[in-house]
Structure 1
Amino acid sequence: MSQKLLRHRGYQGTVEVDFDKSCLYGKVLFIKSLITYAGATPDELKASFEQEVDEYIADCEAFNVEPEKPFSGTFQIRCSAELHKELSSEALNAGVSFNKYVVALLEQGTREQ
């Protein structure tokens, strides 16, 4: 199976191809800082990605700055008032908080895929 994202130390990065320059490249996703990497082969690309992530974390430590985290674990969604009410009622009937109920539904949905 073809890997579409690189992963290292909680960070994810893209895998892109530049046919004109015959190289692979990418960038770290889900943070504001721009961290890019490149390589001639998939192994070189992966090594470059890991090196850039490690250097980013080391630079943050050297400057006593907290590295950006790709995800906080918190997000907001918008839905209809009717759906919100229905989910709230189902959570109440299940005897759990609204948050726990929705998280369980999301986890169930990701396992089914």
Structure 2
Amino acid sequence: MINQMTINGVKAVITYDPDIELFRGEFVGLNGGADFYAADVAGLKREGEISLKVFLEACQEDGVEPFKTFSGKFNVRIPPKLHSDIVSAAMAHGKSLNQWVAEVLDEAVHTRAA
């Protein structure tokens, strides 16, 4: 199971590492790695704040932009039948393929993250 947590406005994916019996947080959308470990939620928040602060300070010192930029474009490889079904669904909703896919993905991300 993968869960998310937001620390100081930055999302992190939280997983459990059974080898060390700790939860691991890893920030997403950064131009480098920033992870943190703790045994509980309070510890994750505390360690996450420290990890993020150290990462951002290092970026500032090095003159590096800490956050990735995204173009808004990505390619997805899917089976031809699914492609056909998606085009049909988009047309049935009176939308372009891009509009329909963007709405479905937005709904999926925000429904699961809630």
Task: Report the TM-score, using the length of structure 2 for normalisation.
Answer: 0.60
| CA shift in 2, pair 1:105/1:44, >3 Å | closer
* Alignment map for 1:98-109 (pairs within 5 Å): 98-109=97-108
- Residue of structure 2 in register with 1:64 after alignment: 63
- Residue of structure 1 in register with 2:54 after alignment: 55
Alignment length (residue pairs): 106
State the structure with more CA Rg. Answer: 1
Q: Matched residues in 1 for 2:108 and 2:23: separation?
A: 32
Asked if the contact 1:11/1:53 (under 8 Å) is kept, the reply is no
State the percentage of identical aligned residues.
21
- Residue of structure 2 in register with 1:12 after alignment: 12
1:63-113 CA deviation, whole Å, 9 max, x = no partner?
2111143x8354432222233234234434544331111122334455489
* Alignment map for 1:28-43 (pairs within 5 Å): 28-30=26-28, 33-39=32-38, 42-43=41-42
The answer as to 2:80 corresponding to 1:81 is: yes
Q: Matched residues in 2 for 1:16 and 1:50: separation?
A: 19
CA RMSD between the two structures: 3.6
Q: Which runs of 5+ in 2 are unaligned?
A: none
| Cα offset, 1:29, TM superposition | 4.5
Task: Report the TM-score, using the length of structure 1 for normalisation.
Answer: 0.61
